Structure 1
C-alpha cells in the first residue's frame, strides 16, 4: 500500500505558486549549472505518483532517472534504512566495517550474471563506480587504453566525461579530459546505413577493426558499454553486437565492463540488461535502482579481477554508507518479493502496444524501442531522412508536464522521449500516462 492516493490531480497550473516561490529562492541560492527538467518542487512521492508542494499529483514516468524503481518510499527501504539510521549513520567501512556492506556484496554476487566467484566494492554514484571499474581493469591487465562507444554516457567526473560521447551539456568547456580513451561505433539499428538487419554484425566488425588497427588489442585494459544506452537515446545495440564484443574482449585479455547503472535491477525485464543475449561481463557497474533512492553504487565482478587492486587502492569516505546499504537490502527484497522483473515486462507489453499504434498514426514517431520499463520514442521530421526533431520533442515533453505527466527527454540529437516509470506503477496510471502522451502528440 502507498501513502499517497494513486491518482493524477491538478489543482493549480504546473508549476504552481508555491513551486514558483521556491524556484525564485533556488535561482538565488543554487548554482546555475544545476538544471531541472520540470521546476515543480516535490513534497511526497510513492508508487507511480509524485505530489508537489502545491498539492498537484503528477504521474511519474521518470523514477528520478531510473532510481525509484521500487517506488520513492517503498516500505522495506524505509523500514530498513530507518532502523539503521537509529543505530548509526556512519563509521566508514575502511575504519570499522559493518555487516550491511558485506550483505549488499553477497546479494550482488547472487543477482548479477554468471556463476563464477564474485566480489564487489561499494561507492556513492554511477560515475564513481565507472571510474573504479577502470582502475580495477588497469590494475588487473597492466594496460591503459579504455574503449567506449558512440552515444555512450558514463558520468560527469573528469574521467567519465572523457568516456561520455555527448558534448553538450556534459563536456562543453570542461576539458582537458583524461587520456587513453578511444571511441568506436555502436550498433544503432534505427540509424544504421544498411538497415537494422545488418547492423549487429557490421557494427561489431567495424568496432573490432578500429580497436585492432587504431589502438591494438594488447593495449586495451577495458571495453565499457551500456547494454542499453541510456542518455544516448535508449539505444538497444542490434542483436549480436554485445556477444561479439564480449568474445573479442575474452580472446584478447580485455576486461569487458557492462555499465548497468540505468538498465540494471529489473528495469529491462531481467535483473540486468546484458542477460538478454547471455552476455556475462567481467565487471558490472551499478547504481541508480540499487538502493531505492539513497546514494549507492557498486562494481561487481570476477573475484580475481576485483582483487587486482592493492589494499587501500579502492574506497572513499562514504562508499557503502550503512544507511544506503540498508536501503539497498530493502530494495532488493522488494524486487524479489514483488517479482519486479515480471512487472517490467508487463509495462513493456502495455507501453509498446500503445506506442506502436501511435507510430502508425503520427509520422513524427520514427522509432519505438527499449525493453521492460525502459522504453522510448525517437521523433523525426521526416521518416525517410530520419532528420531529428528536437524542437517537437521538447514541445511534447512540455505538453505532458502541463497535463500532469512527468517525462524525460534524451538522445545525442535531443529527439528521444524516454519513459522510466516505477516498476510498481499501477496499470491504470500507466494507461492514463499514455493517454496524455497521445493527447500531447495530437497538439504537437
Structure 2
C-alpha cells in the first residue's frame, strides 16, 4: 500500500467497525449478479483490512475483486455504521493503477477528457466517419458497433454523436428574453455525454431557463468533472481536471446565482467527491476551495424546483400529456445528494407517473472499467432493471444521468423494451414548448 494512502486510511479499523450484520448484502449491485461473499461490501472491507496488514498481496486476483464493485453506494446508504466502503475502494484502485498501470485505451480516453480542444476535434472526426465503424440502431436509440474495439464489443449500443457539441453551439452569454433590473444568472456545467452525445439535455435546460427569464452563462473552458478517472484510480488526471476547473470557476462563480448540472454523476463529483479527493490526498487548501465552489453547485431539477416558479409555470402554461413516465433514481442523485423527489414533482405536473417496483436499484453502469473489461457484469445488472421498466408500460423512463441512459438504453434494447429514455429536462421543455 502507498505510504500516503496508509497514513490517511486505517482499513483495519474500518474492517473491525463492520459488525457483519449483512444489511448491505441484499442491496449490493455486484452481489445481486455475482452472489459471492468475496465481492460483497463486508467482503471488500475484510480484504482491505487484510491488505493493509500485509496479509493480502495486491495481485491480479485482488485487482479483479476490487474492480468488481459498481460504486453504487447502496451499502453506505444502509450501513448502520455508515462505513464508506465505496470511498476506500476508490482509493485502493489508485494503488492498483500504480502497480498494474492503466489500459492504454483508458489512458487515451482520460487524455482527451483533460484536453477539451483535442476532444472536440476527435468527436468531430468521429461524427464525420462514424459509419465506418458504427451503424444506426434499428430502434433509433443510438449507434451499433460494427466490430469489436478495445472499449466496446461488436453489436454494443453506443450513444449517438452530435455534429456540434453543446458548448460549441452557443455563445458564452445567453441573455434572458426580458432584461429587468437584475435578472437571475446561472452557469451551466454540461457534462461530457450531454456535451457530445445527448445535446438535447443542454438545449432543453437553456429553453427552460429562457421561459423563466433567467440569464445563462456557458463557461466554455470547463473540463470533465474527473469522475471516469476517479473511479478508475487515475489520480493524476483527477488532480489535473479538478484543479483546472476550480481555478476557472473561481473567476466567475461570484457573479452567478448558481451553477446547474443536469447530470447526477457530474453533480455528485463536483459537489461531494472533489472535497473527498482533496481530503484523502492531503490537499487541505484545495479541499477548502472545492468546498467554496460547491456552495453554488446544484443538480438542475433540484435547483429549478426549489428556487424558481417552474412548478407554477408548468401548471399554468405547460401542455398535459397522456404519455406515462417512470423515474429511475441514479445512485449519485438519491444516495449521494438526497435528490429524488424534485424531478418527480416537476414531471408530475404534465405527465402521469408510474413507479417501477424498485426505482432505487442501480442500473449497473459502474464506470469505465465496468463498461469495458467487465461489461458482462454491467449487462447482468441491467437485465432486472429493464424488466422493471417494461412492467410499468411507460412510454418514457427518465433519469437525470446520461451514464444511466447509456446503460438502460442497452439493457432495454437487449430485452426488447419499447420504452424511450429521456432526461427530465427534455420532457419538461417539451411540456413548455410553444
When normalised by structure 2's length, the TM-score is 0.25
Normalising by structure 1, we get a TM-score of: 0.25
Bigger helix share = 2
Give the structure, 1 or 2, with the largest relative contact order (CA under 8 Å, sep 6 or more): 1
**Larger strand fraction of residues:** 1
